[in-house]
Amino acid sequence: MNEVQQKLHQDIMRSVKIVKRRYYIFGLLTGFFASLLAVLWVVYVKMLEIDSFDFFPVFFSSISNDVTLISDFKEDLVEFLPLGSLGWSLALFIIVCFLIGLIIQYRKVLFLKVGKFKK
């Protein structure tokens, strides 16, 4: 019986520790989400500056017309896409997905009320 109480106590204390840290997890998620939106905005503005959106219809029509033109557009594709900004946005997106996965995995613990464990 004492062993069951000890395990229950450890489980409760672990849950309380996670509940106390949930605000930090939500803060991290909010910060990374805001960073992701900021990076995506920078990519959008850069693509507007270099007229990338005018390039895509030409690129896709060339694919439908002749597949061999893809190799000719490879240099243009590298020139018209801000690859550095896209890389950062992809990295932030992966981090946000990871944090969302953590929140989904620990959702029962994160939304527990701390007062539930008080006497």
Per-residue pLDDT tens digits of the chain, which is 119 residues long? 566 677 777 777 777 777 777 777 788 888 888 888 888 898 888 888 887 777 777 777 766 656 666 666 777 777 777 777 788 888 888 988 888 888 888 777 666 665 655 54
CA distance 44 to 36: 12
Q: Are 70 and 62 in contact (CB under 8 A)?
A: yes
Within a domain: 68? yes
**Number of structural domains found in the chain:** 1
How large is the C-alpha radius of gyration of the chain? 24
Within a domain: 50? yes
Within a domain: 6? no
Within a domain: 81? yes
* pTM exceeding the 0.85 threshold for the entire prediction: no
Q: Using alpha carbons, select from 58, 57, 80, 59 the residue that is nearest to residue 70.
A: 59
CA distance 28 to 112: 19
Q: Rounded to the nearest 5 degrees, what angle is found at the Cα of 99, between the Cα atoms of 19 and 118? A: 5
Q: Using alpha carbons, select from 65, 63, 82 the residue that is nearest to residue 73.
A: 63
Domain span including residue 26: 21-110
Both tokens of residue 2? Answer: 């004492």
Within a domain: 119? no
Within a domain: 12? no
Within a domain: 76? yes
Within a domain: 9? no
Q: Are 85 and 39 in contact (CB under 8 A)?
A: yes
